[in-house]
Amino acid sequence: MSIIDVQNLRKTYTYHKKAPGLVNSIRSLFKRESLTTEAVKGISFSVEEGELVGFLGPNGAGKTTTLKMLAGILYPSGGQATVLGFVPWERQAAYQKQFSIVMGQKNQLWWDLPAHESFLLNKEIYEIPDQQFRVALDELTELLDLKDVLDVQVRKLSLGQRMKAELTAALLHRPKVLFLDEPTIGLDVVSQQKMREFIKSYNDRKQTTIMLTSHYMEDVAALAKRVIIIDQGAIFYDGPLSGLVSKFHDYKIVNMTFTRSVERRTLASFGDVIEVSGLTASLRVPRTESTKRAAAMLQQLPIDDITIEEEPIDDVIRQFFLERSRAA
């Protein structure tokens, strides 16, 4: 069953161009040149109940704009979308009580109040019954290790603690759909890992439908089995995370351990040398020739062990966007 259904969704922004200088500022009061830009260009996709989907793309690709339309924050320029059977931008109360959006770069908690005060405010806004609120708050603060800082002003919390508190506030009313826009941005490595573990565990236990955007490929690789990739407002991939490598990259990585040292120039005759360290080395070889070249290495090099692996998913996506930007 599709919880999120998007058909030909578009968003166009109009803005005005003005040349610098006082004279041009005065002139622009009477005549301005209007320009338009398409942030989202007729995208279509659906998300099933309980899915955790990675929504990827470079800066300005249209990720956040899409999530804002699905959350009802922005009104689209065209197309249709339903979430839980509701049209998001109609902003019906019944819909607003069934979803949450967490944006890593924007706060929903009151800065000068303890987090607990904001949680109580959300309780009233979402009309959460007392028992449900206590159970949800105890569960979330325990899982996110927030019990000791509930009475501390939000502005005095660390970034990691603030993000956990933001996530707690978003989940108190047990939403069926959760939009996460860069939830780990700015966090240290340990905090990122704990946030990933919580999101994955919550999705598994509650079967909440989640759309996740992130510039950290580790987030997506750890959480999402399916990814939607958007660039310049258009979707160019929607499918399994594992399918990205075979679809968009033509190389594999060969890792070797030797019985004695081998010169870098010798290895270069078999492929692109990524790294040589002591008795180990890694090479990048064409996907179609990986087996053939590995066999040649076994015959000609003092190999103790050899493995053939796919390129890391973050490297594949990063290289793909780099090549697209160069082509543009």
Q: What is the tens place of the pLDDT at every residue in 88-108? A: 999 999 999 999 999 877 778
- pTM for the model stands at 0.79
Give residue 326's pLDDT: 65
49-77+87-245 to CATH, choices 3.30.70.20, 3.40.50.300, 3.30.2320.80, 3.40.50.720: 3.40.50.300
- Round to whole Å and give the CA distance between 230 and 44: 11
Region 148-160: mean pLDDT is 88
- Token pair of 213 as six digits: 């955007």
Q: How confident is the model at residue 173 (pLDDT cuts 50, 70, 90)?
A: very high
Q: Domain locations in the chain?
A: 49-77+87-245, 250-310
Half-sphere exposure of 142 (CA within 13 A, CB side): 7
Q: What is the mean pLDDT of the chain?
A: 87
Max Cα separation, the chain? Answer: 79
- Domain 49-77+87-245 matches domain 250-310 at the CATH topology level: no
Region 141-169: mean pLDDT is 88
User: Strand 303-310 vs strand 234-240: parallel, antiparallel, or unpaired?
Assistant: unpaired
- Round to whole Å and give the CA distance between 12 and 34: 13
**20 in Cβ contact with 26 (< 8 Å):** no
Region 303-318: mean pLDDT is 79
Region 262-273: mean pLDDT is 91
Domain 250-310: assigned CATH number: 3.30.70.1150
